[in-house]
Amino acid sequence: MVSREVMVSNPKGLHARPATLLVRKAASFKSDIGLEYMGKKANIKSLIGILSLGVGSNSTVNVIANGDDEKLALEEIINLISSLEE
């Protein structure tokens, strides 16, 4: 299992469009990938799960990956979150 924190710099946070991009990216990996925010956890392969966290702009989230391709999954998800714009 690997994990790392990342800042959500998107001015609108993780709303529907960026959350959809995360779900699509996460679906390409075999590993289980989770997102933690303010004590709540969600499966990053679930759009409803991500949206239910209510992640706003300039928030720090923890990405956790566990599985065969966990390191690659973590890196790519972190890169995607870091590059999200409106």
Active-site pick, 6, 14, 15, 55 = 15
| CA atoms of 3 and 12, how far apart (whole Å) | 24
DSSP type of residue 33:
E
Closest of 21, 24, 46 to residue 34, by C-alpha: 46
Judge whether 56 counts as a catalytic residue.
Answer: no
Q: Which residues carry out catalysis?
A: 15
